[in-house]
C-alpha cells in the first residue's frame, strides 16, 4: 500500500501542521500556487514530490515543474493541474492537460479554488476520482486549512479522504 499526500495553494508558506500532516506519506502531489522552490525542497525531505505551476508560480522551478503532471504511482494514473478548467475532461475526451494518445487518468487533481472537493462516480468521468485538496493557505470554505490523502495499491485507489490540518476527516470515498 502506498500513501499519497495531496496539497495545494501553499503560497510560499508550509505551516508546521501541514508538514506534520504529510510526514507519513510515501509520495506527495502539489497542485500549484507553490510560492517558491523552498516549499518543494521542504516537502522533498518527506517524500518524492510531483508538482505543477499555479497562476502565482513562475519559471523559478526549472523544467521539472510544468503546468501539468501525469505521475503514475503504484500503478494509478494521475492528471494534475492547477485550474479546474484545465484538467476537467469534456465529453469528447479532450482536456488542456491531455494530449492525443495520453492515457485516461484514474485520478484528476486540481487546486486554485481553495475549496476541498471530492467527486466519485459518473460526475468524475472519465476518471474515477476528481478532486481538490483545498488549501493550506487562505482557505475559502468552512472546512478551514486542508490536505488530502489517498491509499493506492497495484493500480487501484483503495481509500481517499480530505482532512483538516488537525487530522479530522472531512470528506472521504
What are the cell numbers at 50?
Answer: 510531483
Its domain, for residue 72, covers 2-172
* Residues belonging to the chain: 173
User: What are the tens digits of pLDDT across the range 48-107?
Assistant: 999 999 999 988 898 889 999 999 999 999 999 999 989 887 666 667 888 778 888 999
- CA atoms of 140 and 60, how far apart (whole Å): 27
Q: Structurally, how many domains does the chain consist of? A: 1
User: What are the tens digits of pLDDT across the range 52-68?
Assistant: 999 999 888 988 899 99
What are the cell numbers at 5?
Answer: 499526500
- CA atoms of 170 and 149, how far apart (whole Å): 11
Q: Is the pTM of this model over 0.85?
A: yes
Domain of 151, CATH number, reads 3.60.21.10
Amino acid at each position: 500500500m502506498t500513501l499519497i499526500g495531496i496539497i495545494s495553494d501553499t503560497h510560499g508558506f508550509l505551516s508546521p501542521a501541514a508538514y506534520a500532516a504529510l510526514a507519513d506519506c510515501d509520495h506527495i502531489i502539489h497542485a500549484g500556487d507553490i510560492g517558491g522552490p523552498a516549499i518543494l525542497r521542504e516537502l522533498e525531505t518527506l517524500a518524492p514530490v510531483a508538482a505543477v505551476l499555479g497562476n502565482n508560480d513562475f519559471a523559478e522551478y526549472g523544467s521539472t515543474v510544468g503546468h501539468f503532471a501525469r505521475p503514475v504511482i503504484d500503478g494509478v494514473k494521475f492528471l494534475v493541474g492547477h485550474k479546474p478548467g484545465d484538467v476537467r475532461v469534456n465529453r469528447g475526451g479532450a482536456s488542456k492537460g491531455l494530449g492525443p494518445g495520453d492515457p485516461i487518468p484514474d485520478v484528476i487533481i486540481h487546486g486554485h479554488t481553495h475549496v476541498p472537493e471530492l467527486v466519485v462516480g459518473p460526475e468524475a468521468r472519465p476518471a474515477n476520482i476528481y478532486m481538490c485538496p483545498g488549501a493550506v493557505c487562505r482557505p475559502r470554505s468552512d472546512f478551514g486549512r486542508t490536505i488530502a490523502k489517498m491509499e493506492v495499491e497495484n493500480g487501484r485507489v483503495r481509500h481517499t479522504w480530505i482532512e483538516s490540518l488537525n487530522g479530522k476527516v472531512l470528506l472521504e470515498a
